[in-house]
Amino acid sequence: MAVKFTLIRHGESIDNLKNLWAGWKDATLSNHGMFQAECLASSLASTPFTEIYASDLKRALLTAQALQSSQLSRLASILDPTTSTPTSVLAPPPPKLHITELLREQHFGAGEGKPFVSKDPELSLHAHYAKGKFPALYGRSERFPGGESLCEVRARAERAVDEVLWGYISQLQEEFKAGEEKEVHVAVVSHGIFIPELIMALLKCGGEEVADIKNYRGMKNTAWSRVVVNVVKDEHGAAVVTQDGKPKLKVAVTSINRHEHLDKLVRQKGGIGRVAYDPGQKDIRAFFAGEGKAKRKEKGKPY
């Protein structure tokens, strides 16, 4: 019995290609980013998720919708050929997709949409800002005007745990006390800076000293990491109880930056992969993915 959280970074956005500060700037996926999301979804189609949560920003939401679609396709395929009734009535209900601003990327304030620049050692940060330049910040308490510091992102991640994810963990504790066995698996689609902060916030639930956050940074687009929460048991299999009478929790990161689903994905030639994804242009994407050749060949048949 455990609660699993699979934390997924969104697919490549058009701003990922421009070296811009893109936090709350609502860039959509590139065509390549949508292919990444589809590869991710296909690779996780056989993994049943209880619920899916996503940032409300387009790049995360589109990635989450691709994931949800693969789950629906999996459930639709679990049919008894003689009765057309889902096996095991068997199949669990499809996961709902919940959208929340709490899972957004770090907000870069006045730096949103501005290009990355190197810091001029002769200028203060405020002098840079006055010139419309926004060099990288390295302190956790530093922030661009009107934006968030990493400390504030961590606080928001802790809010996300409290307000969004804690219900699943609390349910785990109650079900263990009641002797129930139930697996819960929640997918969370978010962003490259936010996810490591969320991992640290989840690890804090175990009440133990946690690892360096640098271990969880550097996630590729559509890569995923996984956090598993279990109840701590004694040698007799009974729950170890905390001072407040609740079962003690063990929180572990079991996977980091998994992206093997991208191994065979090749960016489309001719720049089409860098273009903003448009669901209305699906036929063009299919053509550049290789379906066009088959269609042209079929069209040329004399019968």
Binding-site positions for substrate: 9-16, 59
Sign of CA dihedral 113, 114, 119, 125: negative
Residues belonging to the binding site are: 9-16, 59
- CA–CA distance, 175 with 107 (Å, rounded to integer): 38
Distance CA 66, CA 35 (A): 10
- CA distances 90 to 76, 181, 207, 208, Å, are 12, 17, 37, 39
The whole-angstrom separation of Cα 43 and Cα 81 is: 25
Pairing outcome for strands 2-9 and 224-231? antiparallel
Please state, as a whole number, how many other Cβ atoms lie within 10 Å of the Cβ of residue 49.
Answer: 21
Alpha-carbon gap, residue 105 to 99, rounded angstroms: 14
